[in-house]
Amino acid sequence: MEYIHFTDEQKQRANSVDLVDFLQRQGEQLVRSGREWRWKRHDSVTVRGSQWFRHSRKEGGHSIDFVQQFYDMSFPEAVTLLLGGEFGVEWNQTSKSVPPPRKSFALPEANQDMRRVFAYLIKQRFIDREVLTHFAHEKLIYEDKKYHNAVFVGLDENGVPRHAHKRGTYTQGEPYKGNVEGSDPKYSFHRMGESDTLYVFEASVDMLSFITLNKDGWKQYSYVTLDGVSEHAMLCQLELNPHIKSVVLCLDHDEAGIEAVGRLKDILHEKGYRDISVMQSQYKDWNEDLKVKNGISPIPAREHPKLVLLPKVVSELHDLCKALATHKDIDSFLAECAQALKPLLASGKTAALNSEAVRECLQCMAAGSLTAMQRQLRQMEQPVTMEQLIQKLQDSYRPHEDRGWLRTKAEQLRQDVSNISRQLQTIGIRTLEDKEKLLSTYQLLALDCIKTIMFVEQELPSMLPVQEQAVNFFMTM
């Protein structure tokens, strides 16, 4: 698309388009989720007014980058679409989907007894009665009067309730769950002990289930729920309890949980914590493990699909690396691959129609990068086998860092190739630091090729129908 100049007012107008209105006009299904709307086709994506957030990858933004990400458009294409373009569409820009201003926090009125909550958590969730009784006596769990939900209370450092999560106790259908309006996410359901160990969970029932499964001496340890996968509650308790030195991440055994573990480990390392471990449930979460012990069929665990695919993608590089071992000018080979790949990644539709060629180019670039690394290390008198380099490449992959759609990945590949070219063209003798920097750039290019290959295999097939669906919609306007 040719360069188009947009005024600041036009860009602001495009970025304020209500995403609920935008998606609903294209026949997309949205489900209310508290103060937001969840996109049924991408169920980890929520929208609210002109804002969106993808919870599984902890990324989000506003209307323009939403269209860029999910409809694989360039910036000018996205802005043109949101401004109405030649179709004359007037999108809603008043954030009609945003609820009224948030109310101040107040706990729901308590019921006179906890019969329904005890029945639900003990008979349906198999939580140990003594454990549940302890939390009830501490007024951290109670039954609300109006709907008989189980209410899990989070206190601040002064013992004042600041957060409450409600979970329905009816056994028919999907139980209600949601936070009381005005809850502070830093103070979600938790209990602190004297030990230096903190166990971290996604939800209240997970935490109670884990304690039930590991009941011996449980009161000496500390426990916190994240009310999802956000780090705020964990960091708050670590700050308030400096005696805690060891953190055990006990999140769900699924894609979102696995990504969150990697992200939380990075955050903890940045905060100076070194004693970090992971405990993973055998089934989908700790309550499913508890159900199995009580004769109930569990929801199975789900491994991260990219971690499942990764060994296969990486193993396919072995033969290519052998074939390139005698190539005289590996850097020129990389440049040729990048040049051939560029038009293939011009758009999601182009890439989808040429997926096999895209894959082959990416494999050649990854293998070429590894071959260049091996030669550089040989010159530095640090010889390694190709098997070692391939294993290092696989070990360096982090699913929570693998974000963005095709356009983002194509830009990252372009930057990698440009950085390699610039470093190679630098005049003068390369220092050890220069050589190590070049090695890192080669590895980054190989890793970005692997990420893009996995995107091509897992995400690209679904992109072509989205493109066609958008086109069909506008053709009817």
Is 285 in the same domain as 235?
yes
- Cα 219 from Cα 379, distance rounded (Å): 58
**What tokens were used for 418?**
């440009």
CATH label of the domain that carries residue 267:
3.40.1360.10
**Amino acid in position 373:** M
List pLDDT tens digits, range 358-383: 999 999 999 999 999 999 999 999 99
Angle value at C-alpha 33, between 29 and 36, nearest 5 degrees: 85
The percentage of residues in the chain with a pLDDT greater than 90, rounded to a whole number, is: 65
Whether 99 is in a domain gets the answer no
Cα(375)–Cα(367) distance, integer angstroms: 12
What are the tens digits of pLDDT across the range 137-193?
A: 999 999 999 999 999 999 999 999 999 999 999 877 677 888 998 999 999 999 999
User: Does residue 261 have a pLDDT over 90?
Assistant: yes
300 in a structural domain:
no
Per-residue model confidence (pLDDT) at position 304: 95
Residue 320 has pLDDT above 90, yes or no: yes
Count CA within 13 A, CB hemisphere, residue 38. Answer: 10
Mean pLDDT value across residues 385-403: 94
State the pLDDT at residue 352: 86
Residue 473 pLDDT level (bands cut at 50, 70, 90): very low
Per the CB < 8 A criterion, the answer to whether 79 and 11 are in contact is yes
Domain co-membership, 324 together with 188 = no
Backbone angles phi, psi at 423, to 5 degrees: -65, -35
Report the candidate in 238, 182, 245, 175 with the shortest Cα–Cα distance to residue 203. Answer: 175
Please check whether residues 149 and 183 belong to one and the same domain: yes
pLDDT digits (tens, 9 = 90+) for 11-64: 888 888 999 888 887 778 888 877 788 888 787 889 998 899 887 766 788 898
Residues 217-227 have a mean pLDDT of 96
Burial track 24-50 (b if 16+ CB lie within 10 A, e otherwise): eeeebebeeeebbbbbeeeeebbbbbb
Give the model's confidence band at 98: pLDDT under 50 very low, under 70 low, under 90 confident, else very high.
low
Strand partners, 178: 166
**pLDDT score recorded for residue 444:** 97
Helix, strand, coil in percent for the chain, rounding step 5: 50, 15, 35
Domain that holds residue 36: 8-83
Give the pLDDT confidence score for residue 471 in this predicted structure. Answer: 39
Would you say residue 227 has pLDDT above 50? yes
Domain identity same for 250 and 382: no
With beta carbons less than 8 A apart as the criterion, state whether 32 and 109 touch. Answer: no
pLDDT at residue 467, as a whole number: 42
CATH no. for residue 74? 3.90.580.10
The pLDDT value recorded for residue 100 is 59
The rounded distance, in Å, linking the Cα atoms of 386 and 374 is 7
pLDDT tier at 130 (50, 70, 90 boundaries)? Answer: very high
* Domain-located, residue 272: yes
In a domain, 371, yes or no: yes
Average pLDDT over residues 288-296: 97
Residues 210 and 266 reside in one and the same domain: yes
pLDDT at 67 > cutoff 90: no
Q: Is the pLDDT of residue 406 over 50?
A: yes
Secondary structure element (H or E) that encloses residue 178, with its range:
strand 177-179
Residue 57: inside a domain: yes
Look at the chain and report how many structural domains it folds into: 3
Token pair recorded at residue 223: 């426990």
Same domain, 289 and 313: no
Same domain, residue pair 244 and 203: yes
Are residue 280 and residue 323 in the same domain, yes or no? no
Q: 159 and 184, same structural domain?
A: yes
Residue pair 453/359 in contact (Cβ under 8 Å)? The answer is: yes
Residues 148 and 224 in one domain: yes
Burial class (CB in 10 A: 0-12, 13-18, 19+), 375: middle
Percent of the chain whose pLDDT exceeds 70:
91
226 and 133 within one domain: yes
Q: Is there a domain that residue 334 lies in?
A: yes
User: For position 141, what pLDDT does the model report?
Assistant: 98
